[in-house]
Every structure is written in C-alpha cells, then in structure tokens.
Amino acid sequence: MGVVIEGTGSYLPEIVLTNKDMEMIVDTSDEWITTRTGIKERRVAPKGMASSDLGKEAILDACKDAKISSEELDFILCATITPDKFFPSTACLIEHKLGLKGKVAFDISAACSGFLYGLEIARNLIETNTYKKGAVVAAECMSRITDYTDRSTCVLLGDGAGAAIVSSSEEEGIIGSFLASDGGYEELLHAPAGGSRLPSSFYTVENRLNFMKMEGQPLFKIAIITMCEAINKVLDKYGMKKEDISLVIPHQANLRIILGVAKNLKMPAEKFFINIEKYGNMSAACVPIALDHAHRKGLIKKGDYILTVSFGGGLTWASNLIKWTKGD
Ligand code: UT7
C-alpha cells in the first residue's frame, strides 16, 4: 500500500508589504534586501486574522484540488510556531472552523521543518492502516512575532498557509523522509519569552523578548550544510540519485542559501523551485505553498520524483522523497 498526495492548496493574505514599505519602517533598502535575501515583498494577515483562519482556507483549497469534501478527512495535522493560542491546538481550531468534529487533530512544533515532519507522521499514520486520509497544513502568522524595530529580521518574514491532502493508495507516493534535530543551538533562533521559562510580563514586553530573535550569520552556514545532508541522506536511504529528481521544493529563508545548496550538491539551480521574492520566509508554510504553486504551474508531472527540504528553529532539518501521482 502507498501514501499519495491527493491535492495541494494554499492561502496568502491580501496585504502586501514591499521592500519600499520596509524602507519606511526601518533603516533598510530595497537593494540590501534584494541582494542579501532575494526577497521583494511579503504578505501580512490583517488584524483579527490568525493562523487557524489561514490554515482553514489552505485546507479547503487542497480539498478542492483533491476533489474531496473536508468531511472525508480522518486527521488534521497543523505545523505552526505561531498558533492562535498556546492551547487549544490550532489544528483543533481549524477542525471546528471547517465544521468538523471527532477527527484526530494536533499541532506539530518543528518550526520551518514542521510541514515535512507532518508529511512523515501522516505517511506513518496511513501506512500502518490506522487512518485512510488526512490534511497536513502549515499555517503561520510570522508578523505576530516579528519585531518591526529589528531590521535584521523584520524584512525577512511573512504570513501564509499551505496544505496537502494525504491518502492511502495502490500507488507509491510519499516514499519516505529524513528528519533530524539539534536542540543545542536554541539561542540562534527563538522567541525568548512567553513560555514557561520566561512568562510574558511588563519586563519581557518592554524588552521585546516575546519577538523572534535570530543570529543570521551562523545559521546561514548551518542551513546549507544541514539541507545538503537531508537531501543526501534521504536519497541514500531509498537508493536514488540526484539525477532522478525532477524538482526540489526548498524552504525559502534566503535565495543565497538555496543557491548554495544547489551548488554544494552540484545540482542545477533550475531544479530548485523559488518563490521567495514574493512571500519571504513564512516558516513552516514556505514548503507547502511552494509545492502548491509548483503543482499549479504544471512544473510537476505524473511519475516525477521530487524532494522537499527544510531547515529551521530547533534546530530542525528534513527532506521528503515523493513520487508525484497526480495528472495524466
Ligand atoms: O528560516 C530558517 C532560519 N533562518 C535562516 O536560515 C536565515 C539565515 N541567515 C540569513 O539568511 C542571513 O544571515 C541574513 C539575511 C539574516 C543576513 O544577511 P548577512 O549577509 O548574513 O548580513 P549580516 O547579518 O552579516 O549583516 C551585514 C550588515 C550589517 O552591518 P555592518 O555590521 O556590516 O555595518 C548589518 O547591520 O548588514 C546590516 N543589516 C542590514 N542593512 C540594511 C542587517 N539587516 C539589514 C537590513 N537592511 N535589513
């Protein structure tokens, strides 16, 4: 029995923040942001909209692509580091917003690698014959944990959601994954306050400790090394070669990181799907949105082998090897 991606979907809020807009907010320039990151603009959810709202729309879009009703879903797995609330889980809130109940619903906290972790969990839930069909969604309102006085992070981040419907099938689809983590680098990428270590207080708010903090330079190097490792490991594990891969769907943290991964692996940069210029870094939502856009642009054909690859807070890094089964 196989586990296939039956449909993909995405949702991006309408408000666009361009690099010119960022120039009005912090001491930066379109030239700096473009040359250092590849980003030209990003989306921001309006006041009152939260990750579950974005996630619900992405799942509905994916259900439409899969030609199913959301009632057919046995489970909803939501990858997010910007949940609506600490609890209940954003997955439960999405379930309710979809008008569903009684499903399996829980969140996955693996930062930018959350969607890839989710696909592997979903594959196992289905392959063990426990469930037949589910949605893996990644929904992020990064703008809510962005410090708009910190030019080194605020120009990078954006909001969005992407989803995949995953089902049992006679065909082979999600072949397998490589997942990894290292908690030793906690302080390179984190939100220091708001949890049980340093609960929110006047002090934490005054000192802007509830926002995301990042040490970009060391992360840049680790990102390239770990993403190359993830790709090599998953290919080795399943006896495949780089030449067998038609398209790589990478996490979109920095264009220079993606090109660095392609160069180190001696793979053509054209094999890496890139949409960072339009949306920036949306944490876990980057990969499923890129997958959905690549699919809708007709860049993935039935029978193609594709890879996802990501790196992010945790640290976590991961790759999924997928045989595409949609299309004629
Ligand atoms: O989502 C997964 C986790 N995240 C990542 O993987 C991100 C990895 N890191 C990066 O992508 C890059 O390190 C950044 C894009 C974050 C930064 O690029 P960089 O080339 O590493 O810049 P830098 O941090 O070395 O800063 C270079 C200069 C500094 O000025 P001085 O000290 O040389 O005078 C910064 O203050 O650029 C300055 N700078 C800016 N200037 C204009 C930093 N941010 C900005 C900005 N606009 N927005």
49-89 pLDDT, tens digit each: 999 999 999 999 999 999 999 999 999 999 999 999 999 99
- Rounded mean pLDDT, 208-213: 98
Residues involved in catalysis: 112, 251, 281
- Rounded mean pLDDT, 33-49: 98
Mutate to test the pocket of ligand 1, among 82, 150, 152 (most ligand atoms within 8 A of CB): 152
C-alpha to C-alpha distance for 222 and 218, rounded to whole angstroms = 6
Whose alpha carbon is nearest atom 41 of ligand 1? 28
Judge whether 75 and 103 are in contact, CB under 8 Å. Answer: yes
Numbered ranges of CATH 3.40.47.10 in the chain: 2-171, 176-323
158-167 pLDDT, tens digit each: 999 999 999 9
Contacts (Cβ under 8 Å, ≥6 apart) of 236: none
Q: Average model confidence (pLDDT) for the chain?
A: 98
Whose alpha carbon is nearest atom 20 of ligand 1? 36
174-192 pLDDT, tens digit each: 999 999 999 999 999 999 9
Residue 253 CB–ligand 1 contact under 6 Å: yes
Q: Is 107 exposed, middle or buried (0-12, 13-18, 19+ CB in 10 A)?
A: buried
pLDDT of residue 230: 98
Judge whether 85 and 78 are in contact, CB under 8 Å. Answer: no
Closest ligand 1 atom, CA of 281? 1
pLDDT of residue 1: 82
**pLDDT > 90? residue 288:** yes
Domain 2-171 has CATH 3.40.640.10: no
**pLDDT > 90? residue 9:** yes
121-150 pLDDT, tens digit each: 999 999 999 999 999 999 999 999 999 999
Produce one character per residue of 2-18: b if its CB has 16 or more CB atoms within 10 Å, e if not.
bbbbbbbbbbbbeeebe
Contacts (Cβ under 8 Å, ≥6 apart) of 53: 45, 97
| Topology classification of domain 176-323 | Peroxisomal Thiolase; Chain A, domain 1 (3.40.47)
**pLDDT > 90? residue 328:** no
**pLDDT > 90? residue 224:** yes
In angstroms, how far is CA 239 from the centroid of its own chain?
26
Mutate to test the pocket of ligand 1, among 19, 27, 217 (most ligand atoms within 8 A of CB): 217
Closest ligand 1 atom, CA of 154? 48
Whose alpha carbon is nearest atom 23 of ligand 1? 217
